[in-house]
Structure 1
Amino acid sequence: MPFQPALQASPLHWLRYCFCALVVALAAHAAPAAAAVQAYPPTFRAQQMAVSGGTQFVRIGGAGPAVVLLHGFGDTGDMWQPLAVLLAKTHTVVVPDLRGMGLSSHPEDGYTKVAQAHDLIAILDQLQIGEFTLVTHDIGNMVGYATAAQNPTRVNAWAIMDAPLPGLGSWDKQLTNPKVWHFNFRGPDVERLVAGRERILLDRFYNELSANPARIDEPTRRHYARLYARPGAIHNAFGGQFAAFATDAVDNQALFAKTGKLPMPILAIGGDHSYGASLAAELDTVASNVRGAVITNSGHWIMEEQPDQALALLVPFVVSAPTQASQKRLTSSEIDALPARVAGAGTSGLPGVSTRVLHGDPAAHGLYSIELSVPPNTVIEAHRHRDDRTATVVAGLWYFGYGTANDPAIIKSLPSGSFYTEPGGVAHFARTGAEGATVVITGYGPSDTDYVK
């Protein structure tokens, strides 16, 4: 079935989704369906970042939740420019050139995908990025799996495009596919054969692995031919990235045996003239939350062949990705261990009423939850909050009413387990009896408290 983003309940997720959907629609209307490789805008910065034995060229732009885009062979991080520009409106976007590829340095070793995953985490640590969403293609998928399997609590979601994983699923069957003869195409004589003919080599990949070779246009072919003609580029691609596949297969099997199925949401995208729906079946063997999508009239080069279809899937998926920060499970003892404060945004501000913030920040934009512990015989006079709030009584007996004065005649007693609402701008009041009460209130900030004069 077609992929549909699993939007979170938070209004912030919904707003981000709607905004990005509008941007995608406008971009699709304004731009041609396929275009030459475009430069990243000046709002992105680029730098060489230290990794084991060398450096990687990394582009960084935007602000917000982090998303990492990983390319494969025949491309560099330049392939992601249309997606990166859209996502940078709401996210911090990190786009490396893989080890030994593009503008990265050319060390002789370190090309196993487990090692490259360690390098990626080192880059993100330098950027002070904790959790992130992955979007990957081709060899980038392999680095992506090694990253997600070794760091499942840091990877929020993963979109994977049109390539299988060494050692997993039907990998052994893939090795008999005549179109992947290049997996073992390496060595000094091969490099002499290709030297000066990098464009011819890349044309083979673009022509044989696409639905319509014309979709990979002449400027795109020239762009990547220049990059793969750089000293060391072909040597590191074939003698480094591809040569490591056998080790990657063993490493992946060991990772899967250790960690089991990946828990994060995964969107598996295949071109209908390439892996198609079978990519989702591949991922089902190693992950527990997989959705599939198929790009029509596309082969392997999805971002070049059908960029509009790709953006329409990827942007909503990234925007709706859950974050580790939004996933909380607190026992009563863990709640009791949270710091308590007397006053704060959205509280009564009365002495003796303690507040614990369970989620978010009532003073900031976004979803929040607070727990109020109200001592016995407390009277909270009529007041209002700017935001709509819901509340549950979790302990004691709570007396609550609507109106501009604390009137016992219209107050209602709410025992533990009761629910009530505090509509934005509507005056309400409360009190406790001899046993006090604890309530949990959820709203969408910024909140405030305005007492009725």
Structure 2
Amino acid sequence: MLRRSLIILLLFVAAALVHAQPSLPTSFQSKTIHSPEGADIFVRWGGKGPVALLLHGYAENSDSWAPLAADLMKDHTVVVPDLRGIGRASKPAGGYDKKTEAKDIRAVVTALGYDRTFVVAHDIGNMVAYAYAAMYPDKVERLVVMDAPIPGIEPWAQILQNPGVWHFNFHGPDAERLVAGRERIYFDRIWNDFTGDPSKPDDATRNFFTATYAQPGGMRAGFAQFTAFSQDAADNKIFERVKLTMPVLAVGGEKSFGPLQAVIMRHVANNVQEAVVRGSGHWLMEESPVYTVNLIRNFLDSPQSPAASKSAAAPDPDEKRVTPSEYVFPLQGNPGTGSSGVGGIQTVMLKGDPNQAGVYTIMLRVPAHTQIAAHSHQDDRVATVISGTWHIGYGDKFDEEKLKALPPGSFYTEPPGRNHFAETGDEAVEVQITGIGPSSTDYVDPAQDPRAQHR
């Protein structure tokens, strides 16, 4: 224990003796903000003007944004948090899925008194930024993502086959024991394998970042970012159904992701600009700071202002007109919150999110010959049958005599807490449901809950 403490101390001292270590402007204010999701997020902010939110990646912390923050603060308010578990943020046992981390970031933004922001992200910050933009699309003016995949978004499966990303699966108590006191060796492998310039990041920067992860719980929390990837992939498959509408700049290092970054983002966004930083690998702020800063600034300040997205040429994202032929149902069943949980049901979110507070509308496609046991939802819902004949009844158990056949165009209600049941005949049925989230699904008999089979 004493040996490890001395190593950590020496890393801090070595970093402090060399002025090349990254550091945000000294004029920035700082505070720690408690997230309702169970983390304390350390954040620094400064400057004046439109708000730019910067989200860092793994093997780094918020100080990695030093070159960009120093430039943007001249005419922007720059907000730079440490992600949950990294830097000076707390290191809770869980909550490292990027959906939860996005909620952390939203708590930071609102606690500082801000609302709409530009969002700039790198590495794992991309994953948090995507979840943030998908969950709060009206709060993001423009989005910049740099050099990292998005779990679950193609070509995610191919990326996972790359031996170079073995660290995605390196976590747990044994991994923590292996790297204890050897954190610099572990991080050198990541920095060296993904750089386009072997001298970058420089030694002082490496010592500085290593020291922050070598703090008690730091490596465990860092590994937890990767442990959450399977949940992130599942969440992103749901987010992917509704494409982002804000302008997106996808930046790849020529010797790293290159144009692939834009390929990834075009799966999830409608308005994507592509940029490749020549000669650079993954560590864009360290390898090519001047070019990358100018690239980001030009995108954020380009004449096509974010406000123009509400012009006649580019409709407000809250304005939605969708014909039946434009509904894009997933290829496989994806029952979620607000549905009955039956495996074969395909769900499209037309507005809002049943998991969040506020109005939502979902479209369900229920397979033929499906029977749904008695259940209820906590919110007040109304529904319209779009196609097929839907048989529905009210009561605490399935009773065929209580079913009423509802052909296309029929309307019915699902009062909060009112048990109901349903079935389809020889054809699939499409039902459009509107409620006020958050919603839920509670079966009268837990043994009849189809979700229990997958737990």
TM-score category, normalised to shorter length:
0.5 to 0.7
CA contact (8 A) 1:67 1:318 kept: no
**Partner residue in 2 for 1:274:** 256
Indicate the SS of the match to 2:276.
strand
Provide the rounded CA distance (Å) in 1 between the counterparts of 2:43 and 2:204.
Answer: 23
Provide the rounded CA distance (Å) in 2 between the counterparts of 1:168 and 1:252.
Answer: 7
Q: 1:58 aligns with which of 18, 43, 61?
A: 43
Indicate the SS of the match to 2:240.
helix
Please say if 1:264 is aligned against 2:249: no
Please say if 1:193 is aligned against 2:175: no
Q: 1:119 aligns with which of 104, 112, 126?
A: 104
Per the TM alignment, residue 324 of structure 1 is displaced from its structure 2 partner at its CA by 5.9
CA contact (8 A) 1:37 1:79 kept: no
**Partner residue in 1 for 2:209:** 224
Per the TM alignment, residue 106 of structure 1 is displaced from its structure 2 partner at its CA by 0.6
1:286 maps to a residue whose letter is V
CA contact (8 A) 1:156 1:323 kept: no
Per the TM alignment, residue 173 of structure 1 is displaced from its structure 2 partner at its CA by 0.8
Please say if 1:97 is aligned against 2:82: yes
Provide the rounded CA distance (Å) in 2 between the counterparts of 1:328 and 1:225.
Answer: 45
**Partner residue in 2 for 1:301:** 283
**Partner residue in 2 for 1:41:** 25
Per the TM alignment, residue 36 of structure 1 is displaced from its structure 2 partner at its CA by 2.3
Indicate the SS of the match to 1:320.
coil
CA distance 1:198–1:287, shift in 2 (3 Å): same
Across the aligned residues of Structure 1 and Structure 2, the Cα RMSD in angstroms comes to 1.6
CA contact (8 A) 1:267 1:290 kept: yes
CA distance 1:148–1:190, shift in 2 (3 Å): same
Provide the rounded CA distance (Å) in 2 between the counterparts of 1:160 and 1:315.
Answer: 13
**Partner residue in 2 for 1:167:** 152
2:200 maps to a residue whose letter is R
2:298 maps to a residue whose letter is P
TM-score using structure 1 length? 0.63
Q: How does 1:363-378 map to 2 (within 5 A)?
A: none
CA distance 1:315–1:176, shift in 2 (3 Å): same
**Partner residue in 1 for 2:128:** 143
Indicate the SS of the match to 1:213.
coil
**Partner residue in 2 for 1:16:** none
CA distance 1:311–1:224, shift in 2 (3 Å): same
1:180 maps to a residue whose letter is V
Q: How does 1:240-259 map to 2 (within 5 A)?
A: 240-257=224-241
Please say if 1:152 is aligned against 2:137: yes
CA contact (8 A) 2:254 2:281 kept: yes
Per the TM alignment, residue 84 of structure 1 is displaced from its structure 2 partner at its CA by 0.5
Indicate the SS of the match to 2:138.
coil
CA contact (8 A) 1:198 1:225 kept: yes
1:135-167 Cα shifts (integer Å, max 9, x gaps): 100100000000001111110111110001000
**Partner residue in 1 for 2:267:** 285
Greater relative contact order structure (CA < 8 Å, 6+ sep): 1
User: How many residues get paired?
Assistant: 293
**Partner residue in 1 for 2:189:** 204
Per the TM alignment, residue 255 of structure 1 is displaced from its structure 2 partner at its CA by 1.5
CA distance 1:325–1:280, shift in 2 (3 Å): closer
CA distance 1:129–1:193, shift in 2 (3 Å): same
Q: How does 1:302-381 map to 2 (within 5 A)?
A: 302-320=284-302, 328=310
Provide the rounded CA distance (Å) in 2 between the counterparts of 1:118 and 1:324.
Answer: 23
Provide the rounded CA distance (Å) in 1 between the counterparts of 2:81 and 2:304.
Answer: 23
CA contact (8 A) 1:148 1:155 kept: yes
Q: How does 1:4-19 map to 2 (within 5 A)?
A: none
1:192-244 Cα shifts (integer Å, max 9, x gaps): 11000011011001111111211211111111111110111110111x21100
Per the TM alignment, residue 54 of structure 1 is displaced from its structure 2 partner at its CA by 2.3
Per the TM alignment, residue 323 of structure 1 is displaced from its structure 2 partner at its CA by 6.2
Q: 1:177 aligns with which of 133, 140, 162?
A: 162
CA contact (8 A) 1:268 1:291 kept: yes
Provide the rounded CA distance (Å) in 2 between the counterparts of 1:303 and 1:37.
Answer: 12
1:43-66 Cα shifts (integer Å, max 9, x gaps): 201111111212111010111111
TM-score using structure 2 length? 0.62
Runs (5+) with no aligned partner, structure 2: 1-18, 313-455
Per the TM alignment, residue 320 of structure 1 is displaced from its structure 2 partner at its CA by 2.9
Runs (5+) with no aligned partner, structure 1: 1-34, 331-453
CA distance 1:89–1:254, shift in 2 (3 Å): same
CA contact (8 A) 2:24 2:66 kept: yes
CA distance 1:322–1:78, shift in 2 (3 Å): farther
